[in-house]
Amino acid sequence: MSRTAPVRGLRQSMDWLHGWVGIVFGWLIFAIALTGTASVFKGEIGDWMRPEVTAPADPDAALITGLRWLATHAGRALAWYVTAPDTRTATPFAMLQPDPAGDYVSWALDPASGSPHGIRDTLGGEFFYRFHFELELPYPWGRYLASLAGMALLVAILSGIVTHRRIFADFFTLRSGKGKRSWLDAHNLLGVLPLPFHLMISLTGVLMLITLTLPWSTMLAYRHDPAAADAELFPGVIVRERANRPAPLADPAAMVVEARRRFGGAPIGRITVENPGDAAAVVTVWQHDAAQIAYNEAWITFDGSSGRTIGFHAEQRPAMSTYNVLYGLHMGRFGDTVTRWLYFLCGLALSATIATGLLLWSVGRADIRDWPHGAVARLTVGAIAGLMLAAAGFLWANRLLPATIEARPIWEVRAFFLLWAAALMHGVVRPPRAGWREALGANALAWGLLPLVSALTVGRGLLAGAAAGDGLFVVADLVFLALAALSAAAAWRMTRPATARPARRAAA
Amino acid sequence: MSAAASWLLAFAGFAALSLAMHRHARDARFGPERIGGFALRRTCGWALLAASLAAALAGPRWSFALVAWIGLLGAAAASVALLLWRRPTWLPRAGVGAAVAGLLLLLGR
């Protein structure tokens, strides 16, 4: 291995590792980080994508109305999984198979009527959230790949810390107009200042999928009986066979009131109903994750036909509590508005750290003109600017696709992937600098015109919203315009001649 | 608003810590006569960061506040870095202003 130095120091090894992990996993980690960042506002994105819902919802009332509607209209389903609306999401969601032989659907239920009719069919923010850890791949492969990317991110962060010689000396340093040095400053600053967040989010992300990546201890302890493991994980959750005797569901309002009492007033997060309409129906009500940092803090189970309480659990087990807190930290559902925005900003910083790292790899080697370096430089354009453009296209499709079109949510997702594929191809075909300029320019147009397109198609937006106190639509438009301005500024910089001189290979 | 006080104090703390470094003191046009203040600025910086933590934890739910504070620290340090990048000469006054405003908010609770 040694060319000149007889012994490779730890720092050189870590530098080598940091570079290779970054170049192999960088594009994937960027996509996961950016969609995860968008997922911080999953509920808000969903509300923006369903502009028909305007009524502010009382969470409990909307939940009860939704359950009553499902009882009359979706009685054949084997189970309903209903997510409650909250202070940041206007509608309850129901996941179910309306026809037991058919596909799963996800309905947003109108908070006033409980019905999904009249609301445009869309995945909303759920698309970014699912992509974040499933990558649109079949189960369990997407989760495996996302978990691998999370481990790679952890390796990249730790090796980056070892490699970075001047964490404290360069803590505030950002020098402009120095080519590679400036990119390195930005990369270091974005990586170091939110470092606690970066470490927390990558570690907890890997831990969330740990039962998938390290299943053997569970297999050994429970002798390949996953039901027994589930029963111990979730005591008080009752699993019953279908009785095949029809029985109406007891009044959900009474169950909601009882659950709120047992939760000490904390709000309800979701309700699952197994075997609805059957004598063996079971209703489980889960406490909302905003009430504490930990995830899945408490739940209560009712007999579906009588409404009697048959199980209750509030988490007291130290190991579970620790895991749930780590899980909850990653989800960030406990956060108030300030904490949410900090999660969002830290997530953007993480995405930008990866993007600048990928750029450094090609900028720092601008003098090397072999095909691998060219290929990396070109693919990076589509992987970064192309993904942002695809996200804008997803939102455009939500506004422009007719409401009656068959499989509407699938077409929105197709718009996302078609645009991303086109941007990747564009990046490969064009020289990197021109590619960046054009892709960033397209981003500026796509995000900049989105408020206009939205205002013309649905009539809610910055101007109408500012007058009517429609906070969500005002902030959404401001975020879109900020993204447009950033893209335009970056595209404009790319029109100026390159200042990057081929620097000697400096240790990061 | 404990988040605002916490951010202001963290910003002031990081401003003081950065101005206790030769490179940034030079960027902020500090003359040689102010080099002697490095130790004082460093002490003030750490004290202000501690005050920022106190402001964050003063609220009813310390566990939520602690998570938010770690994020606020990053945001405050990034604000100092951005100011040093674009307008380094503004930093001393911005830091003092933030310290005063943050302490007033903290004590006026």
- Among all residues of chain A, which has the CA nearest to that of B72? A342
Confidence grade of residue B35 (pLDDT, cut at 50, 70, 90) = low
- Amino acid making up residue A113: S
> Can you read off the two tokens belonging to residue A63?
């939940």
Cα distances (Å, whole numbers) of residue A281 to A80, A242, A486: 11, 8, 53
- Nearest chain A Cα distance for residue B68, angstroms: 5
Residues ≥6 apart with Cβ < 8 Å to A111: A53, A55, A57, A58, A61, A62, A65, A66, A85, A90, A91, A92
Answer whether B18 sits within 8 Å of A189, measured CB to CB.
Answer: no
- pLDDT tens track for A270-290: 999 999 999 999 999 999 999
Candidates B64, B79, B84, partner chain A, best to mutate (most A CBs within 10 A): B64
Enumerate helices (H) and strands (E) in chain A, giving the number of each: 18, 7
Alpha-carbon gap, residue A219 to A226, rounded angstroms: 8
Q: Do A173 and B71 touch (CB under 8 A)?
A: no
Contact B67 A335 (CB under 8 A): yes
Mean pLDDT of A238-252: 91
pLDDT at residue A506 in the model: 42
Of A61, A79, A60, which is closest to residue A70 (Cα–Cα)?
A79
Supply the pLDDT for residue A237.
86
Question: Diameter of chain A by CA atoms?
Answer: 81
At residue A370, the pLDDT reads: 73
* Cβ-Cβ contacts under 8 Å, B81 against chain A: 171-174, 189, 193
According to DSSP, residue A89 is labeled B
Residues with Cβ < 8 Å from A441, sequence gap 6 or more?
Answer: A487, A488, A491
pLDDT reading at A507 higher than 60: no
pLDDT digit string, tens, across residues B45-64: 999 999 999 999 987 788 99
Q: Is the CB of A339 less than 8 angstroms away from the CB of B67? A: yes
Is B5 a residue whose pLDDT tops 80? yes
Contacts of residue A176 in chain B, CB cutoff 8 Å? 85
Residue A321 or A100, more confident: A321
Does residue A369 surpass a pLDDT of 70?
no
Asked if B94 is an interface residue toward chain A (Cβ–Cβ < 8 A), one would say: no
Please give the share of chain A, as a percent, with pLDDT higher than 90. 70
Residues of B whose CB is below 8 A from A195: 74
pLDDT digits (tens, 9 = 90+) for A21-74: 999 999 999 999 999 999 999 999 999 999 998 877 799 999 999 999 999 999
Q: How far is the alpha carbon of B81 from chain A, nearest alpha carbon, in Å? A: 5
Contacts of B45 in chain A (CB under 8 A): none
B7 to chain A: nearest residue by CA?
A338
| Cβ–Cβ contact B60 with A under 8 A | no
Inter-chain residue contact A171 with B18, CB threshold 8 Å: yes
Amino acid at A397: A
Please report, as a single letter, which amino acid is at residue A347. G
pLDDT band at A503 (very low <50, low <70, confident <90, very high): very low
Indicate yes or no: CB of A339 within 8 angstroms of CB of B77. Answer: no
Return the residue of B nearest to A190 by Cα.
B78
Q: Tell me whether residues B74 and A173 touch, CB distance under 8 A.
A: no
Q: Which residues of B touch A171 (CB under 8 A)?
A: 18, 77, 81
Interface ipTM: 0.94
Of A193, A292, A338, the CB nearest to B68: A338
Partner residue opposite A342 with nearest CB, options B14, B68, B82: B68
**For A507, which DSSP code?**
-
Whether pTM > 0.90 for this model: the answer is yes
CA-to-CA distance for A30 and A386, rounded, in angstroms?
12
**Long-range Cβ pairs for the range A224-233 (8 Å, 24+):** A233/A320
| Angle between the N-to-C axes of helices B38-57 and B2-18, in degrees from 0 to 180, rounded to the nearest 10 | 160
Rounded to the nearest angstrom, the minimum Cα separation between B32 and chain A is 20
CB contact under 8 A, A174 and B81: yes
Which residue, among A40, A168, A172, would best test binding to B if mutated, counting the most B CBs under 10 Å from its CB?
A: A172
Cα distances from A480 to residues A38, A285, A395, A417, in angstroms, run 12, 37, 11, 20
Chain A interface residues (partner B, CB cutoff 8 A)? 169, 171-176, 189, 193-197, 292-293, 329, 334-336, 338-339, 342-343, 345-346, 349
Q: Average pLDDT, whole number, for chain A?
A: 90
Find the DSSP H helices in B22-108.
22-27, 38-57, 62-86, 91-107
Residue A260 has pLDDT above 90, yes or no: yes
pLDDT of amino acid A371: 77
Q: Give pLDDT tens digits for A124-142.
A: 999 999 999 999 999 899 9
| Nearest in space to A333 (alpha carbons), one of A301, A300, A286 | A286
Report the alpha-carbon distance of residue A255 to residue A263 in Å, rounded: 12
* Residue B42 pLDDT: 94
Distance from CA of B33 to the nearest CA of A (A): 22
Please report the pLDDT score of residue A223 as a whole number. Answer: 80
Instruction: Supply the angle between the helices A408-429 and A432-458 in degrees, to the nearest 10.
Output: 160
CB contact (8 A) between residue B21 and residue A169: yes
The arithmetic mean of pLDDT across residues A469-481, rounded, is 92
> CB-CB: which of A174, A175, A293 is closest to B67?
A293
CA-nearest residue to B81 within chain A is: A172
pLDDT bracket for residue A364 (50, 70, 90) = low
In this predicted structure, what is the pLDDT of residue A502? Answer: 44
Question: CB of B8 within 8 Å of any CB in chain A?
Answer: no
pLDDT in tens, A176-210: 877 788 889 999 999 999 999 999 999 999 999 98
In the DSSP assignment, the letter for residue A333 is T
CA atoms of A225 and A277, how far apart (whole Å): 29
Res. A16: pLDDT tops 60: yes
| A386 contacts: CB under 8 Å, gap ≥ 6 | A419, A420, A422, A423, A424, A426, A427, A439
| Cβ contact B71–A197 (<8 Å) | yes
Q: Which of A292, A293, A342 sits opposite B71 (nearest CB)?
A: A342
Q: Which residue of A has its CA nearest to B77?
A: A193
